Structure 1
Amino acid sequence: MTTWQNTPGSGYYPQQQGPGYPYPNSNQQNPGYPPNQGYPPPPPQEGYNPGYPPPYTGGNPPGPGFIPPGVPPYGQVPPMAGAPIGAAQQSGMYGSNYGEDALEGEVKGFEFSDKTIRNGFIRKVYSILMCQLLITVSLIATFVYHRPTQKWVHSHQEVFWISLVMTLVLLICMACCTSVRRKPPMNFIFLFLFTLAEGIVLATAASMYEADGVLLAVGITAAVCLGLTIFAFQTKWDFTVLHGALFVAVIILLMFGILTIFIHGKIMTLVYASLGALIFSIYLVYDTQMMLGGKHKYSISPEEYIFAALNLYLDIVNIFLYILTIIGVTRN
C-alpha cells in the first residue's frame, strides 16, 4: 500500500512507490510516467495535459479565442535572437517590422565580420611575403656581390641541383597536403625551408649574370609587381574567372620551353622569356584577386594564408627570372 503525506506547497506526495503509483486507487502502474527521482510530482489533475500549454488558472473556463500567456498572437513573429534592442523599442515587442530590422542588423554584422577577417588575412599574407622576399634578396646579393661565395657556388654545382630538388619536393608537399600548409608551426617550417631552397636556386642563377644586370632585373620586377598589385586592387575586371585559360597558357609555355632546348637562338629565347613574363604577370593579378575575395567569383579561404603567400612569391620569382633572361639575352 502507498501512504500519502501533505508536503507544504507541493500537494500530496507518496512516501513510497507502490504498484499503483502514481494512482493510489489503481492496481496498475502508469507505463508512460517518468521514474521516481527524489520527490515525485503530485498526482495529475483530471483533464490536465502535462505538456504545453499550462493549465488555465483563471476564474472562468477559456473561450474559443483564448490565447495562453507567453504565446504571441497568430500572424505575429516572436523577437529574433541577437537582434538590437533599439529595434524592439521602436517597433514594439512583436512589431511588424521587427524581423526586418533584426535581419538587416545581422547581415550588416556578418559583412563587417567578413571584411575584418579578410583584411587581417591580407595583412598576414603580405607580412609573410615580405619576409620571403627579404630572405631571397639577401641570398641573391650574397651570391652576386661576395666573390668567394660566388666562386664556391660555381665550383660546386651540386648545391644548385640539391636546392632545386628540395624546392620541388617541398612545393609538392605544401600544395597537396592540407595539414602541412595549415597546421602551425609545421607550415612555417616548410615555408621557410622552401624559401631558403628557392633563394639558393635564384641566387645561383643570378650569379651567372653581371651584377648591374641583376640589380636592373630586381628593380624592374619590383616596379612591375607593385603596379600590377595596385591594378588588381583597383580594377573592376574579375581575373579569377581566367583560371582555365591561364592553365592552358602555362602548358603551352612549358612546351615552348622544351622546344627552345633543342632550337637555340636569341630570338627564340627572347620570345619565350617575354611570354613567360606576360603570363606570370597575369597570374600575379589573378592570385592577388583570389586573396582579396569580396566581389570576385573565386577566393582563397582565410585559413590558407601560407598557400596565398606561396602563390604570390612564385609569381614574383618567375617574373624576376624571365626579366633577368630578357636582360641577359639583350646584353648577349
Structure 2
Amino acid sequence: MFKVNQNYSYMDETVVSKLVSRIFSWMFMALLVTAGTAYAVMTSPSLTSIVMSSYIVIIVLEFAVVMGLSFLINKVSATTAKGLFFLYAVLNGFTFSIFVMFFTPASVIFSLALTTIIFGVMAAYGYFTKEDLTKFGPMLYAGIIILIITSVVNIFLHLSMLYWIISYMGVIIFTALIGFDVNRIKYMVIEMANGDEQALEKASIFGALQLYLDFINLFIYILRIFGNSRD
C-alpha cells in the first residue's frame, strides 16, 4: 500500500490536477465497466441464471482480486494492476446486478444521482481544503471495522433496527471516506509526481480503486435506505 508524506515542496497546481484527473478517469471507467456488466446480466436471463448459481464463487473471486491488488500493487506491473482493477470491476458488475434487481428502476436512479452529488461535493472538499484530513484515518478505519462486524452479526440476527443503523452508519462513513481519500490521494500525487512513471501509474490505479470502492459502497447504503422493493 502506498504511504503519503505531506512534507512536500511547492508544485504547479496544474500538474497536480492533471495527475488527479487521471485517477478519476480510471475510477469512472471502472464504474462504466461495472454498470455495463450489470446491465448485460440484468437484460439476459441466461446470464442472470449463471450469475445467481455462481454468486458465492464470484464474491470469493472479487475478494481475492481486490485483496491481491491491494497487497501486491508494489510488486506487479502497471499493466497487471490495470487488468486486476478492471477484472474486479467486471466481477463487481456480476454481483451488483443481482442486488439491484431487488429495487425499482426509479429508486436505483434516484440513489445513483444522490450518490453522484455527494461524491462530487466531498471529492471537491477533499481536494480543495487546506485541512489535513489524514488525522481522521484511524477513526474512519475503526468505523469500517465496526460496520463489517455489525453487518456480519445481523446476517444471523435479522434485526430491522440494526439494518437501518448499519445503513445510515455506512452512508456517514463512506461519505467521510470520499473526502479523506481524495485529500490523501492529492498529497500522494504531489509526492510522487516527479518520480518513476511506472510507480505513478500503479499509484493512480490504487487511488482509483479506493475511490471506486467509496462510490460503490456509498451507493449500496443509500440504495438500502431509499430503494423501493420491486415486490
Whether TM exceeds 0.5 here: the answer is: yes
Q: Distance in 1 between matches of 2:162 and 2:91?
A: 29
Q: Distance in 2 between matches of 1:330 and 1:205?
A: 11
Letter in 1 for 2:112: V
**Contact (CA 8 Å) 1:232, 1:289: kept in 2 or not?**
yes
Which residue number corresponds to residue 158 of structure 1? 53
Q: Distance in 2 between matches of 1:156 and 1:187?
A: 25
Which residue number corresponds to residue 120 of structure 1? 18
Q: Deviations over 1:65-123 (max 9, x none)?
A: xxxxxxxxxxxxxxxxxxxxxxxxxxxxxxxxxxxxxxxxxxxxx7346x555333212
Structure 2 unaligned regions, length at least 5: 1-8, 194-199
Structure 1 unaligned regions, length at least 5: 1-109
2:108 is aligned with 1:214: yes
Letter in 2 for 1:316: F
Q: 1:239 to 1:150 in 2, by over 3 A?
A: farther
Q: Deviations over 1:15-49 (max 9, x none)?
A: xxxxxxxxxxxxxxxxxxxxxxxxxxxxxxxxxxx
How far has the Cα of 1:154 moved from its partner? Answer: 4.9
How far has the Cα of 1:226 moved from its partner? Answer: 1.1
2:211 is aligned with 1:312: yes
Aligned-residue sequence identity (percent) comes to 20
Q: Distance in 2 between matches of 1:319 and 1:200?
A: 18
How far has the Cα of 1:313 moved from its partner? Answer: 0.2
Name the larger-Rg structure: 1
Kindly report the root-mean-square deviation, in angstroms, between the aligned alpha carbons of the 2 structures.
2.6
Q: Distance in 1 between matches of 2:230 and 2:165?
A: 15
Q: Where in structure 2 are the equivalents of 1:132-143 lying within 5 Å?
A: 132-143=30-41
2:148 is aligned with 1:250: no
Q: Distance in 1 between matches of 2:149 and 2:226?
A: 23
SS at match of 2:78: coil
The answer to which structure has the higher helix fraction is: 2
Which residue number corresponds to residue 195 of structure 1? 89
Q: 1:233 to 1:214 in 2, by over 3 A?
A: same
Q: How many residues align?
A: 215
Q: Distance in 2 between matches of 1:258 and 1:245?
A: 20
Q: Deviations over 1:183-242 (max 9, x none)?
A: 232121111111111121112211222222212211111111111112222333321111
Letter in 2 for 1:228: M
SS at match of 1:236: coil
TM norm structure 2: 0.81
1:238 to 125, 132, 151: 132
SS at match of 1:225: helix
Q: Distance in 1 between matches of 2:190 and 2:93?
A: 28
**Contact (CA 8 Å) 2:81, 2:205: kept in 1 or not?**
yes
Q: Distance in 2 between matches of 1:117 and 1:254?
A: 38
2:71 is aligned with 1:176: yes
Q: Distance in 2 between matches of 1:155 and 1:166?
A: 15
Letter in 2 for 1:129: M
Q: Deviations over 1:148-206 (max 9, x none)?
A: x257525752332232112111111111113455x232121111111111121112211
Which residue number corresponds to residue 27 of structure 2? 129
**Contact (CA 8 Å) 2:104, 2:229: kept in 1 or not?**
no
Q: 1:197 to 1:331 in 2, by over 3 A?
A: closer
**Contact (CA 8 Å) 2:108, 2:227: kept in 1 or not?**
no
How far has the Cα of 1:328 moved from its partner? Answer: 3.6
2:116 is aligned with 1:228: no
Higher relative contact order (CA 8 A, sep 6+): 2
TM norm structure 1: 0.58
Q: Distance in 1 between matches of 2:175 and 2:191?
A: 19
Letter in 1 for 2:215: I
Which residue number corresponds to residue 270 of structure 1? 164
**Contact (CA 8 Å) 2:122, 2:179: kept in 1 or not?**
yes
